[in-house]
Structure 1
Amino acid sequence: MLNVSAEVVVVGNGAIGSSIAFELQRRGHRVVLVGERARPFAASTAAGAMLGCFGEVTTSLLASESGRAKLATDYRARAEWPEWDHDLGVASADEQSLHVARGTVVLLNSMGTAAVDSGNFQTIEEALREYGEPYESVDPEQLDWLAPDELARALRGLYIPAEHAVDSHRLLGKLEAAFLRNGGRLVDTAAAGLEVQGDRVVGVRLVNEERLTGDQVVVAAGARSLALLDAVGEIRRRIPPLVSGYGVSALLEVDGGALPTSVMRTPNRAFACGIHCVPRGEGVLYVGGTNVLTQVPRRYATVRDLQFLLECAVDQLSAELPRSGVRAVQVGNRPVPADGFPLIGSLGIEGLWLATGTYRDGLHQSPLIAKFIAAAVEGAPWEPGPLTTFTPVRGPLSSGEREEIVESTVLQALASGYEQRWRVTPEWPVRIETQLRREYTKAVETLHPSFTPPPEFVARMDEGLRGKLADYYAAWS
C-alpha cells in the first residue's frame, strides 16, 4: 500500500497533466503526478507540437460562437509560450529553447477540393486580418526545401511569422525535470478510478489496487479521462462523451540533412489536420496529418494509416523523402468530445477537476490550462474569458446549424477521396455526394431532434458511438 498523501493528485502525465502539476508545485502545493512514464496512449508523445491557432482555422470553426471562443483560447494560449519556455528552462536547469521551427507556411495545393481547401485557406486569411495578425503571401515555388510531386503543386502560400513549433519530447522531459526539481512526486503507474466520499473526492485508486489520498484531484488523462469517473456516474452522463482521435506521425532522417526552417502545412481537410512537417534539428523531420475516431485508444499504427501518411508527405511536401530513413513511427490518441470542444473545470464534486477534450490543441493550450486549473484549485478568481465557456458538465455546444454540419461532412468525405487520388468518372462524385448527404442526414435526424455532433462523428457513426451520443443527449433533453 502506497503511503502517499498530497494536497493535489494530478492524473495524467501528458502535456496538460504535467503542466498542471508543475504549475501547482511551483506555487507551493504538494503535488503527486500519476501516469506511466512510457505514456503508451498519450497524444503528446506523437504531437507535431505546432503552436498555431490561425493555421487550424476552418470555415466550420468560425460558424459558431463556441468555435470562435476556441480560436480566442488558442490565441491567448499562444501568448503564454515565450514566458513558459523561459520558466521551464530555469526550473529544469535546461535553458535551451524548446522551439524547433520559426513561423508557419500554410500551403493551398491541388490535392483537396475547392470547397474544403480553398474555403479554409480563405478563412485563415480572413481570421488573420480580423485579429490584426502579421502575415504575408508567399509564392510556394520560391520556398526552399518544398518539392512536391507535379500533380500536387502548391498554388498559394501564407507565411505566419508568429506561429512556431516546439519539440514535444523535450517539452515532456523538461516538464518532468522542472516538476521534480520543485519537489513534486511521480507515481509510475496508471489510475483505475476515483475515491469519492459523499460530495467530495478523497483520492485516486491505481490499477495495482493501491490508493493515493488527496484533498483535490485533477483528471487530465486525455482520451481515457472519462473512464475514470465511474464513481460519479450520474455526473459523467452529463459530460460530452470522449472518443480517441487516433493519429500517426513519423520521424524521418532526411537524406542530406536539409530541413525547412518553418512549419509547413496544408489547411485542415478530410476530418484531419492537413499534411504537415516540422523540423526537429540534426536532419530529423516530423511528418503528421492523420486522424481517425476510435472508441478505444490505439497503441500501434495500422499499415494503412502509415502508408497514407507517408504517401501524402512524399506527394505534397517533398518528392525527395523516399530516400529518408524512418527513425520512429509514433501513435497518439487525441481526446475528442462529442461536441468538439474542451472539457475544462469543476465537475461539481468538491475538490474534483477535469482538464481534457482539447482535441488537436492540448499541447498548444497547456500553459494556459495549467494556470486556469491552478487558479481554480486555489479558489482564485479567473477573469471571464473563452476558457470559462468550456465547463465540462454541460449540454452540447453547437458547432453550427444541422444542414451546415451535414454539408461539411459530405464535402470533407469527398475531399478524402481526392487526397487519395481516387479515379472515378466525372458523374460519380455527384452520385456519391447525393448518397452521402442522404445517409448523413438520416443519421443525425434519427439520433436527436435538434442536437447534432460535429462532422467527424457524423462520418463515423457506428452503433457504439450512436449509443453514447444518445445517452448524453437524453441527459440534456
Structure 2
Amino acid sequence: MNSDSRHPDASADAVDLAIVGNGAVAMSIAIEHRRRVPDARILVIGPGRRPGSASLAAGIMLASHSEVEATTFRHAAGRAKFDLIRTAVADWPGWLDELAAIAGLEPPRIRRGTVVLDNPNVSGFDPPNFDAILETLRRDEADHELVDPVDLRGYRPAAHLRASRGVRVPGDGAVDAFAVMNLLDGAAAALEIERLDDRVESVRDGIVRCERGPDVRAARIIVAAGAASDGLIQMIPELDGRVPRILHGTGAGNRKAAEDETTTLS
C-alpha cells in the first residue's frame, strides 16, 4: 500500500485486518483493535458517503427499556440481548469521551429522556409491547413516568390516530448520529487507520474483491456492513446457512434545530 492511507495498494503486503463496512460498528471495531494492537495494519473498506447506512438513518438510540417487546423475555437469547443492551447503554458516555480524547474533539451530547407511545389505532403490536415495557421498568425499578399523550408538546396527530397511553423513560435517550460518525472518523484518522472508498463484491480465502480498486489481501477479515453483509456471507460455502440472516429495514432520520438551539432526533 502506498503512503496515502486512503488508497491502499493490494500489491503490497497483506494488511493485518480488513474490515468490510464503515458504519458505527465497523469503525468502532477498527478503533478498538488499534488500541489493543497498536502496530496492526488495519484497513476499513466502504463507500465514503455511506449511502443507505443504517448508522445514519436509524440514529444512535441509547435505549434499553424502550426497546422491549412482548416476546423479548420468552427466550434466553432475548434476555441476554436485553442485558447486553443495558450494559452497552451504560458504557456509551465513557466510550464517547475516549473517542473525543483520541480525535481531539468535543464529545457529542447525549440527550436523555425517551417517550414511548401506545397507539393501537396504528398497530396491533403496540399494546402488548407497551405492557411489556411497563412490566420491565417496574421489575427493574427503573425511573419512569406515565404521561397523557394529550399533554405532550408538539404531539398533534389526527384524532383517530392519537395514542392512548405514554410513558417517559429518563434513562433512555439518543445522540446525534452524524456527530458520532464524525467522531469515529476523526478518531480513526488520528490512529492512522487506513481507509478505502469502495464497495466490496466478494470476500474469500483472505481476499477482499472490490468493485473499482485492486483486490485486498488480509490476514483477517471482518464483515460488518450491516444488511449488505448477508450477500457477502452467502458467497462463502463454509458460512452460508450458519450465520443468521441480516435483513434491510426501512427508516429515516430527522435532525431538526429549534429556535432555542436544541436538536431533536427522530
Taking structure 1 as the reference length, what is the TM-score of the superposition?
Answer: 0.50
Query: For each residue in 1:270-289, what CA deviation from the matched residue of structure 2 results, as whole angstroms up to 9, or x when unmatched?
Result: xxxxxxxxxxx8476444xx
AA partner of residue 54 (structure 1): H
Aligned residues: 255
Summarize the Cα distance change of 1:209–1:186 in structure 2 as closer, same or farther, 3 Å threshold.
Answer: closer
Which secondary structure does the structure 2 equivalent of 1:161 belong to? strand
> Which residue of the other structure, out of 10, 15, 33, is the alignment partner of 1:6?
15
AA partner of residue 249 (structure 1): A
> Which residue of the other structure, out of 249, 263, 270, is the alignment partner of 2:252?
249
Query: For each residue in 1:115-158, what CA deviation from the matched residue of structure 2 results, as whole angstroms up to 9, or x when unmatched?
Result: 53221111101111222322122233333333333333333221
Output aligned runs, 1:357-396, within 5 Å.
none
Which secondary structure does the structure 1 equivalent of 2:164 belong to? strand
In structure 2, the partner of 1:90 is 101
Which secondary structure does the structure 2 equivalent of 1:232 belong to? coil
Query: For each residue in 1:10-62, what CA deviation from the matched residue of structure 2 results, as whole angstroms up to 9, or x when unmatched?
Result: 11001110110111112213311111111113211211321112111111222
C-alpha distance in 2, partners of 1:26/1:109?
45
C-alpha distance in 1, partners of 2:218/2:253?
39
CA RMSD across the alignment: 2.4
C-alpha distance in 2, partners of 1:53/1:88?
22
In structure 1, the partner of 2:3 is none
Confirm or deny: 8 A CA contact 2:21 2:44 kept in the other structure.
yes
In structure 2, the partner of 1:18 is 27
In structure 2, the partner of 1:212 is 216
Q: CA deviation at 1:171?
A: 0.9
Query: For each residue in 1:279-333, what CA deviation from the matched residue of structure 2 results, as whole angstroms up to 9, or x when unmatched?
Result: xx8476444xxxxxxxxxxxxxxxxxxxxxxxxxxxxxxxxxxxxxxxxxxxxxx
Matched, 1:125 2:134: yes
AA partner of residue 76 (structure 1): T
C-alpha distance in 1, partners of 2:224/2:95?
19
C-alpha distance in 2, partners of 1:228/1:157?
41
Q: CA deviation at 1:71?
A: 1.4
> Which residue of the other structure, out of 104, 114, 117, is the alignment partner of 2:114?
104
Q: CA deviation at 1:160?
A: 0.9
Which secondary structure does the structure 1 equivalent of 2:243 belong to? coil
Output aligned runs, 1:158-307, within 5 Å.
158-196=167-205, 202-208=206-212, 210-229=214-233, 232-245=236-249, 247-251=250-254, 257=258, 282=261, 285-287=264-266
Taking structure 2 as the reference length, what is the TM-score of the superposition?
Answer: 0.85
In structure 2, the partner of 1:390 is none
C-alpha distance in 2, partners of 1:98/1:5?
39
AA partner of residue 172 (structure 2): E
C-alpha distance in 2, partners of 1:44/1:25?
21
Structure possessing the higher relative contact order (Cα contacts under 8 Å, 6 or more residues apart): 2
> Which residue of the other structure, out of 55, 62, 73, is the alignment partner of 2:73?
62
Higher helix proportion, which one? 1
Matched, 1:77 2:88: yes
Identity of counterpart residues, as a percentage? 31
C-alpha distance in 2, partners of 1:42/1:250?
11
C-alpha distance in 1, partners of 2:167/2:126?
13
